[in-house]
Chain A
Amino acid sequence: MAQDAIVADKLAYWFGDLVAVDHISFSVAKGEILGFLGPNGAGKTTTVKMLTGQLKPKDGKAILLGMDVPENIEHVQSEIGVCFEDTNLYQRMSAVENLNLFARLFNVKSFDAYALLKRVGLAEREKDRVENYSKGMKQRLMVARSLVSQPQILFLDEPTTGLDPTSSEAIRNIILEERKRGATIFLTTHDMMEADKLSDRVAFMNQGKIVALDKPLNLKQKYGKRALKARVSGKSGTLESREIVLDTPQTPGDLQNLFEKENVVTIHSEEATLEDIFIKITGRGLTE
């Protein structure tokens, strides 16, 4: 059996009396994309900090590529790439200088900054100071920086937040390309659609605990309500909505009635979103 890329074993961290991460356990297989979801203050960032060696767990173990993180910090950090939510580039340096600095710190031999910048669509602005970049360009450079060492594990924290659709799409494509390369991706996000689209599995974190962890489809099947939404033409000619819940004993009869007795204008299936499921499980929204 292939070794998991990331293993959290009863991982815990607290700040005084506040338990930020409460003995969570999960694993991420090599080449898998895990969407890590939760509202602000749920403990996502603290978890990522323990996994990336920025914080030493107060309890439990963080294991990356078979190595205990605090005990092999330098080795672990040479195998990971991290893209932070907040822009933390050297603003007075150019894109090339930023990438070259980190490539040297990662001891990357024959690093081609231009090729990487081309990949994220910044090749033409390679020598411009970063302070003159737009938010989307900076974010793409952040992603590029996390890739300088061709990491085996990539931690991406809200990589598309606040970006225009083109930049977001470019970053999503890079994530998928990285998975294709064999990288394991730990994607922290608020964006349910993004998590749904990209992740092989998603983990919901709330108040320091993982409350659900599965494939998006399985979660939807387990917690969601599948339904058909129809728009019918009423007696006075106005459009009215009808909903037929699927997977119940009444469903066939309801469907028959709909088509026999109503004048159906449009009909489509509807499944629960990850946001609906999160609210159902935790009683709170992701943006709270």
Chain B
Amino acid sequence: MNLKRISILLGKEFIHSPKNFMFIWAIVAPLAFTLVATLAFGTLFSEKPNLGIVNEGNSQLVVMAQELDSVTAKTYEDVSSLKQATESGAVDMGIVLPQNFDNAVLQGEIVVIEAYIWGESLAKNRIILPTIISDLVRELAGQEVPVEIESVTLGDEVSTPWSERLIPFLVFMGVFFGGLMLPSTSLIEEKQRKTFEALVITPASISDIFIAKGILGIVLSVFMGVVILLLNQAFGANSLLLVGVLFLGAIMAVELGLIFGALIKDITTLFTIWKAGGIILFGPVFIYMFPQIPEWIGRLFPTYYALQPIVELSLRGGGWSDIAVSVFILIGIDILLVFVIAIAARGLMQRS
């Protein structure tokens, strides 16, 4: 492995890959799907999250919330009207501020807030609202105060909005389509045009060639993942961790792409396999699209371990503890695939 030669080959890939139809398709297709989905379900230009409040005492928090630009705060007379409003979707989250709430906060007591969440509210709203409430409480107290939000979901929990159910599919498409198809088509094209043979008789090794193609795939893959999450306003609170998971998922996609590229003879066969075998890659996506399917089925697919952490961080507001197992399995798969690539590359050298 030689860094200088990898950078030379990478330069070639960066200059010439954008002319490749697959490169264009890998960018256009996920973006087009995202645009259609967000327009169809109205999430692209969605309004601010709605917060319903029952003010049993005379908390200043209500005024503070109403002054915010990032949220629409509405007040309700009693808990039953708040619940009704939450159940009907008039508010994404409803909270009850008990009497002496402000005093308790000022004295630094542990604050417990009862919250009602609309079952079909967007995930981003479910993540944003508790964060806003916690910030307001701290602002009110003028110090760090432990805030506990006890949430109850109202309405049909299973009926997650389609705009959200599609996000795993869109992210997965962005990460896996580009990450897998770009290195595989590039490698197959090099084999078909025999330029691969010309490269391997230079001092550049086969691993230099594979790494250069892999880096381009990873860059495209992570970039598309980030863009799609941003467009869907589903980036969550742990952005660095999310990018890290996207990176690991991109490595998996690229490794599969390089294996396909090394083993498959032509682009037509690649597309046939993509069409027929895509279900194995996209299997976990259906688990999130149709929550009625038991999640354990998803665990049978290797790609689940890339998708689960992404969904957990971006849509469910999860943290490291919710994704640690999947991330370790994902790293294990990534390492295992390196060995598969080495075997496939050896076979490729013998056949070329």
Contacts and interface: CB of A to CB of B under 8 A. Distances in A.
A90 B203 contact: no
A88 B12 contact: no
A263 interface: no
Contacts of B197: 54, 84, 88
A80 B349 contact: no
B199 A84 contact: no
B195 A106 contact: no
A88 B198 contact: yes
B265 interface: no
Nearest to B205: A74
Contacts of B275: none
B202, B203, B350, B352 pick with most chain A CB within 10 angstroms:
B202
A80 B194 CA distance: 18
B203 A107 contact: yes
Interface in A44-60: 52-55
B199 A105 contact: yes
B193 A104 contact: no
A285 to B, nearest CB: 27
Interface in A36-77: 52-55, 73-74, 77
Contacts of A82: 198, 201
Interface in B198-215: 198-205
A169 interface: no
A102 B204 CA distance: 10
Nearest to A52: B201
A89 B195 CA distance: 6
Contacts of B350: 55
A88 B193 contact: yes
Contacts of B204: 105
A145 B198 CA distance: 10
Interface string B225-269: 000000000000000000000000000000000000000000000
B203, B204, B350, B352 pick with most chain A CB within 10 angstroms:
B203
B8 interface: yes
Interface string B166-193: 0000000000000000000000000001
Interface of B: 4-5, 8-9, 12, 16, 19, 193-195, 197-205, 349-350, 352
14 contacts: A54-B352, A55-B350, A88-B198, A90-B12, A92-B16, A92-B19, A102-B202, A105-B5, A105-B8, A105-B9, A105-B199, A107-B4, A107-B203, A145-B198
